[in-house]
Homo-oligomer: A and B are copies of this chain.
Amino acid sequence: MNNVGKNRIEVCYSPALYSYYRNDNAIVVVTDILRATTAICAAFENGVKNLIPVADLEEARELKNRGYLVAAERDGEVLDFADFGNSPFNFHPGQVRGKTIVYSTTNGTQAIRMASGAKHVAIGAFINQSALASWLREKDSDVLILCAGWKNRYNLEDTLFSGALSDILIGTGRFYTECDASVAAMELWKIAKMDITGFMEKAAHRHRLKKLGLDDVMEYCYTPDSTCAVPVLKDHMLVEHKWY
């Protein structure tokens, strides 16, 4: 295999491992499939103008008091002061079109903040995977996929997305990987893609969401390409690249 002139893909399974994968020449793709990054892509699909990811709840509460719409969740539950939780079904166009939304979740927004020193930061989910891959191909840069995980633990749904995205990018002929985490993710994706819901029955996170009665979003989160939105970080704010 000749990798000359190709860009490298790596996958980091937890924000707590980010410093061991950090690559200043890479675009960081943050993913938190259930549900932060899926919800962010859905928000842009529904017309949100921009989105301020906030790691700290106090900051979210303060911005609420200053008049922003706020989406905030911890451990899968909507916080009392918030307008929305992190379900991708929250963001109705009539309510959010043209608006700025402040967003804080258990894992996803922390990962976005952590990556904010990178060359570019983009938001990845199954629902925007093809648009994201096209944008990444055009950018012609190394890619580091950062899984938000679950409280710094490894999770399957973010891994599967990393495998799917690695697979698409390598398929373009412009990327390669020598990263064990990326290789493992692609192998798992090969097994899972035939029946992702069945496969995910095995995932602990599904059990967590079920307990909270929130697993109505599962099918939506695993269905590819319902949007062309590629949210990217600019000056600590997520804005949209439409990719047609």
Contact A180 B207 (CB under 8 A): no
Interface string of A176-193 (1 = CB under 8 A from B): 001111011001100100
- Our pick among B16, B184, B202 for the contact of A188 (Cβ within 8 Å) is B184
Contact B20 A17 (CB under 8 A): no
- Our pick among B16, B180, B187, B203 for the contact of A180 (Cβ within 8 Å) is B203
CB distance from A232 to the nearest CB of B (A): 26
The residues of A with any CB-CB pair to B shorter than 8 Å are 13-14, 16-17, 20-21, 150-156, 159, 178-181, 183-184, 187-188, 191, 202-205, 207
A-B pairs with beta carbons under 8 Å apart, 16 shown: A13-B13, A13-B154, A14-B17, A14-B20, A17-B17, A20-B151, A150-B180, A153-B180, A154-B181, A155-B180, A156-B184, A180-B204, A180-B205, A183-B204, A184-B184, A184-B188
Complex interface: chain B residues within 8 A of A202 (CB): 180, 183
Contact A17 B152 (CB under 8 A): yes
Contact B180 A156 (CB under 8 A): yes
A153 in contact with B21 given A13-B13, A159-B184, A187-B188 (CB within 8 Å): yes
> How many copies of the chain does the oligomer comprise?
2
Complex interface: chain B residues within 8 A of A184 (CB): 154, 156, 159, 184, 188
CB distance from A156 to the nearest CB of B (A): 4
Measured between alpha carbons, how far is A113 from B129 in the docked complex, in Å?
A: 42
Contact A203 B187 (CB under 8 A): no
Residue on B nearest A150 in the bound complex, by CB: B180
Complex interface: chain B residues within 8 A of A178 (CB): 204, 207
Contact B204 A179 (CB under 8 A): yes
Complex interface: chain B residues within 8 A of A20 (CB): 14, 16, 151-153
Complex interface: chain B residues within 8 A of A191 (CB): 187, 191
Complex interface: chain B residues within 8 A of A151 (CB): 20
CB distance from A9 to the nearest CB of B (A): 12
Measured between alpha carbons, how far is A21 from B153 in the docked complex, in Å?
A: 8
CB distance from A60 to the nearest CB of B (A): 24
